[in-house]
């Protein structure tokens, strides 16, 4: 990241919590929401960290997102339900719905899946999948994007988001194995960060409004993101989107509104949260023995030329988190300016809080 400043974790969290409190979010929900956002930054996933705080705050301020939702469940079975997020902050709806999935899996002794409706953009999917992994289960979290910015393969009209998903497996190795990916070559959030900081993007990430590949992040935000793997990425995007919406009344396709432009209509974002108890299939001791062996085999694979060693999915993020807790989080000047701006609007002094002057 170009032109960055290292920001200590706790002062950053305190600033962000105060911003959410100013727009009516209860203290506990503000704390949890910011934990989810800052966790992404700690793991080096800057596209889904505090860079998103200003748009969440603006939507709360406009009343198009509910600061104090009353979340309910319906159409329940022992291992499933529809979870109504009451248009609440996506991170809160995500955490609470995964808690329901984990509890249902424990009580029912069966895999549990929760279909979520009336939610909002929920940040990084890994957080919710890891809730289940930390509970000794395999976690699944799927969501539809809050912006249509991908065309179906062969089309030229934006009808899909990049529809991220995460799957997390627990290990006894000090970190969870976590696949967390959008179905585009790069998450749109990475383009947002690049645009905010004035950085170029690789030419295979997006098309500009003229339909041609672009390295200009600002132009890319006006165009389309590219699916990973061409038609395979489009198919994966479609399936994740359908799984996230068709089991409830969440929006899909032309129904999806624009996270950054529509301040009149709730988004009705859908998620699908899953918790798979390992002990339904395998004694935990045996599972730990086998997955430790799998981890060691991957790590001990002979590296290719110029590669130090092989990492497992989620391992680099785990190491980045450990370093960031000690050293702080690097935030680019564009993100810092956006935080100062939203803080200024709400009377929350960013620089005073992060430097300890407040």
* pTM score: 0.92
Q: In the structure, what pLDDT confidence band is assigned to residue 355 with cuts at 50, 70 and 90? A: confident
What confidence score (pLDDT) does residue 7 get? 95
Instruction: Please write the tens of the pLDDT for every residue from 142-182.
Output: 999 999 999 899 888 899 999 999 999 999 999 999 999 99
What confidence score (pLDDT) does residue 156 get? 83
Q: Work out the average pLDDT over 314-334.
A: 95
Question: Going from the N-terminus, what domains does the chain have, and what CATH number goes with each?
Answer: 1-62+328-358 (1.10.1530.10), 69-184+228-327 (3.30.1370.60)
What confidence score (pLDDT) does residue 20 get? 98
Helix count and strand count (H, E) for the chain: 12, 11
Counting every residue, how long is the chain?
A: 358
What's the distance, Cα to Cα, between the start and end of the chain in Å? 28
Q: 207 - beta bridge partners?
A: 213, 224
Q: In the structure, what pLDDT confidence band is assigned to residue 1 with cuts at 50, 70 and 90? A: very low
Q: How many CA atoms lie within 13 A of 201 on its CB side?
A: 30
- Closest Cα partner for 342 from 9, 3, 22? 22
Question: What are phi and psi for residue 106, nearest 5 degrees?
Answer: -65, -45
Q: In the structure, what pLDDT confidence band is assigned to residue 288 with cuts at 50, 70 and 90? A: very high
Instruction: Please write the tens of the pLDDT for every residue from 15-45.
Output: 999 999 999 999 999 999 999 999 999 999 9
Instruction: Please write the tens of the pLDDT for every residue from 186-205.
Output: 877 789 888 888 899 999 99
8-state DSSP, 170: -
Supply angle C-alpha 168, 171, 177, rounded to 5: 35
What confidence score (pLDDT) does residue 358 get? 53
75: burial class by Cβ within 10 Å (0-12, 13-18, 19+)?
exposed
């Amino acid at each position: 990241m170009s032109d960055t400043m290292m920001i200590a974790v706790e002062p950053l969290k305190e600033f962000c919590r105060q911003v959410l409190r100013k727009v009516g979010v209860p203290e506990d929900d503000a704390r949890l929401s910011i934990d989810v956002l800052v966790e992404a930054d700690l793991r080096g996933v800057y596209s889904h960290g505090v860079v998103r705080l200003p748009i969440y705050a603006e939507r709360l301020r406009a009343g198009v997102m509910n600061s104090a939702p009353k979340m309910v469940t319906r159409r329940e079975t022992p291992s499933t339900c529809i979870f109504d997020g009451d248009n609440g902050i996506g991170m809160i709806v995500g955490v609470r719905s995964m808690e329901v999935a984990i509890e249902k899996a424990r009580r029912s002794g069966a895999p549990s899946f929760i279909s979520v409706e009336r939610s909002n953009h929920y940040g990084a999917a890994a957080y919710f999948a890891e809730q289940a992994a930390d509970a000794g289960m395999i976690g699944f979290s799927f969501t539809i994007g809050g912006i249509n910015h991908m065309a179906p393969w062969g089309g030229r009209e934006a009808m899909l988001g990049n529809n991220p998903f995460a799957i997390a497996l627990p290990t006894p190795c000090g970190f969870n194995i976590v696949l967390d990916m959008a179905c585009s070559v790069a998450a749109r959030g990475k383009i947002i960060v690049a645009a905010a900081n004035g950085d170029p993007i690789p030419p295979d990430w997006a098309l500009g409004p003229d339909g041609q590949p672009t390295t200009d992040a600002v132009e890319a935000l006006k165009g389309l993101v590219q699916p990973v793997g061409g038609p395979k990425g489009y198919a994966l995007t479609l399936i994740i989107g359908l799984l996230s919406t068709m089991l409830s009344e969440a929006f899909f396709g032309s129904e999806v509104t624009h996270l950054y432009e529509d301040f009149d209509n709730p988004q009705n974002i859908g998620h699908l949260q899953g918790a798979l108890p390992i002990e339904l299939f395998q004694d935990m001791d045996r599972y730990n023995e086998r997955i430790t062996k799998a981890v060691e085999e991957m790590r001990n694979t002979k590296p290719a030329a110029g590669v130090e060693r092989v990492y497992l999915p989620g391992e680099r993020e785990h190491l980045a988190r450990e370093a960031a807790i000690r050293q702080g989080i690097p935030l680019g000047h564009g993100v810092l300016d956006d935080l100062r701006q939203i803080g200024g609007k709400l009377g929350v002094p960013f620089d005073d809080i992060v430097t300890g002057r407040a």
